[in-house]
Amino acid sequence: MKVGVVIPTYDQYGQSDVIRGLIGAAETLGYDSAWFGDHIVVPEYAKDYTDPHWFEALTCAFAGIGMTSRLSFGTDVLVAPYRDPILVAKMAATASELSGGRLMLGLGVGFLEGEFEALGRPPYARRGAVTDEYLRVLRLLLESKADAPLSFEGEWVRFENIRFGPRPANPPPLLVGGNHPKALERAGRLGDGWHPLWPTPDEYAEARQRVLAVRRRHQIDRPFTFSFSCPYTRLLAAGEPVRRDDTPWEGAPPRDYAYSPPKPRTSDGRDRFIGTAAQLREDLTEYAAAGVDQVVLRFAFPWDREVSPDRFIDRMEAFAADVLPAAKALRAAA
């Protein structure tokens, strides 16, 4: 099982030296990948729930590629409708070639309606259809091997007889986010992987079978990664009490935030990925049994003011020492 880490780029983490330091720590400590979330602007009604000071995800990934030699980089997840897919394909192909294939594109439909409106993107209500079309454009441009003109006729994207390059030797895999049944269909039909938010092991195993069924139905046999975007991750010290991962928001957040699924818990009520080293190793084992190839950890959330950048690195170090070897052993046994 591969293990990545989400690097926060907002609030107290939204400083260039902090972001570079966390990327460097991920490389040094033996993690497989570093990931960045995506917001471009934040509407006023959401500013108390999403910090507007948020570094751009692709730029962070490209900068990270330039300062490392081993680490892969991903987006957790890039809101597909926010960006022109032809430009994204150009940037991703360039980064993949320059890095020797160290880029992954996590892509989703997005959730923040006011952000769509501010950016003047296709309608929020059509974001699923837009994402499907943009994924088809990305696949066409990134996977074209023949030196021939390309054409596409869609509702939002149209071009005829264009040439695209560089054609990357290792096209960035397109990992589709989302837990909805439509996201499973999208991942199986148009993606190179599925990257949902924290389903339980049983939910993951069931959804995995649905994705595989889509691939069989469409006779798709390209490589596929079953990824997992983790909930809040914390390795507890001996005797440290468990603190449930509950947000301290006062009042109900805007309806946009209802997309977030409930956190996965064990049968005895423990939040998954919060616990002792033995408990976290058990979590990894259960998700590996459910078919997960890759987990992406979250050592901080925006509402946890106690986790300073230094504490973030402490948590990365503790996990790397006491849990990461178990993940690598699961990978060797797969």
pLDDT of the residue at 332: 78
Per-residue pLDDT reduced to its tens digit, 57-115: 999 999 999 999 999 999 999 999 999 999 999 999 999 999 999 999 999 999 999 99
Instruction: Compute the Cα dihedral for 324, 273, 228, 53 and give only its sign.
Output: negative
Query: What is the arithmetic mean of pLDDT over 15-40?
Result: 98
Residue with tokens 């696949």: 139
Per-residue pLDDT reduced to its tens digit, 176-222: 999 999 999 999 999 999 999 999 999 999 999 999 999 999 999 99
Question: What pairing do the DSSP bridges indicate for beta strands 105-108 and 150-153?
Answer: unpaired
- Kindly report whether the peptide bond that precedes residue 77 is cis, defined as omega within 30 degrees of 0: yes
Could you give the domains of the chain? 2-333 (3.20.20.30)
Closest CA to 265 of 242, 288, 249: 242
Per-residue pLDDT reduced to its tens digit, 280-296: 999 999 999 999 999 99
Residue 313 to residue 279: CA distance in whole angstroms: 21
Structural contact between residues 17 and 307, judged by C-beta atoms closer than 8 angstroms:
no
Residue 166 to residue 91: CA distance in whole angstroms: 10
Per-residue pLDDT reduced to its tens digit, 115-169: 999 999 899 999 999 999 999 999 999 998 878 899 999 999 999 999 999 999 9
Reported as a pLDDT band with limits 50, 70 and 90, residue 303 is low
